[in-house]
Each structure stands twice: as structure tokens, then as C-alpha cells.
């Protein structure tokens, strides 16, 4: 088992968002279909914004929750989580891209839920609840906006 602090986990989340943004940007640059390119560019922008939100959590720790120690059996060197998000090689339309993005969003939401359930302090519970709620809001936004793209 590895011991890590909340701030290390949130830094990993920032890196996760940036890696996804880079992946979406790369896929968009190689895309011939304009709608798919727009969908991928949109998702890259959203990932960058989500990363910035997590950075604000890192910068605005008034409760000291970031210094809380976590017990984590997987040593959370999680770059391989990103590998679970398909390359979207077979993506044929924006709905395929959206399904791909939802896999990444669900991965983070599940992690936040687990961390909330394992929280040892009320401030830790509050942090992971807020992160989970933000992820839920992001899922709704992405579904809505990709759906709008499909309509036009």
C-alpha cells in the first residue's frame, strides 16, 4: 500500500485532464470531417477548463484538506487509466467521440466517489463531493453541446 496526499491525487487529475486535452487536440488535427474536428476541439477545450478548475482547488486550500494522507493500494501511478480511454480510431461520428469522452468522465467520477466514501474527515468528504458534482455537471454539458453539434 502506498500513502499519498490529496494534493498529489489532484495534481494527477490535472495531468489527466491535460493529457486528454492533448489527445483530443491531436485527434482533431488529423480529422477530415468538420463536425468531428469541432467535437474534438470542444472536448480538448473542456478538458483544459476542467484542469484549471482542479488547479484552483490546489491553490485555494483554506481547510488544509490537501495535506490529508490517503491510503491507496494501487500506488496510484495511474497513467494507464488514460490508456483505458480508446484512441477513437473507429469513431465515425460525434456520438462515437462523445461515448469515448464519457468513458474518461466516468473514470474520474468513479474515483471521486470512491475517495469520498473513503474520506476520513468532513473536509475531505466535501472536497470529493464537490469534485464529483463538477464532473457530473461537465458530463451534462458535454452531452448537451455534442448533441447540439449533431443537430446542425
| pTM: predicted TM-score of the whole model, two decimal places | 0.87
pLDDT at 133: 97
Buried b (16+ CB within 10 A) or exposed e, 22-46: ebbbebbeebeeeebebbbbbbbeb
Three-state SS string over 80-117 comes to: HHHHCCCCCCCCCCHHHHHHHHHHHHHHHHHHHHHHHH
Per-residue pLDDT at 99 = 86
pLDDT, residue 77, reads 47
pLDDT tens, residue by residue, 116-131: 999 999 999 999 999 9
pLDDT score of 75 = 52
DSSP tally for the chain: helices H, then strands E = 5, 2
Residues with Cβ within 8 Å of residue 116, at least 6 apart in sequence: 124, 125, 128, 129, 132
**Are 2 and 75 within 8 A, CB to CB?**
yes
> Distance (Å, rounded) from C-alpha 23 to C-alpha 117?
31
Low-confidence ranges of the chain (pLDDT < 50): 1, 77, 79
Q: What is the pLDDT of residue 104?
A: 87
Amino acid at each position: 500500500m502506498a500513502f499519498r496526499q490529496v494534493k498529489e491525487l489532484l495534481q494527477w487529475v490535472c495531468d489527466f485532464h491535460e493529457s486528454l486535452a492533448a489527445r483530443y487536440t491531436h485527434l482533431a488535427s488529423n480529422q477530415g470531417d468538420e463536425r468531428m474536428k469541432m467535437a474534438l476541439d470542444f472536448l480538448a477545450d473542456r478538458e483544459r477548463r476542467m484542469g484549471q478548475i482542479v488547479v484552483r482547488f490546489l491553490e485555494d486550500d483554506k481547510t488544509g484538506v490537501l495535506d490529508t494522507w490517503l491510503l491507496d493500494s494501487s500506488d496510484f501511478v495511474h497513467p494507464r487509466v488514460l490508456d483505458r480511454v480508446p484512441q477513437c480510431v473507429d469513431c465515425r461520428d460525434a456520438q462515437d467521440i462523445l461515448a469515448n469522452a464519457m468513458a474518461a468522465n466516468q473514470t474520474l467520477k468513479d474515483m471521486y466517489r470512491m475517495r469520498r466514501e473513503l474520506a476520513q474527515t468532513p473536509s475531505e468528504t466535501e472536497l470529493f463531493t464537490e469534485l464529483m458534482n463538477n464532473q457530473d455537471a461537465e458530463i451534462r454539458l458535454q452531452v448537451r453541446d455534442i448533441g447540439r453539434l449533431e443537430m446542425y
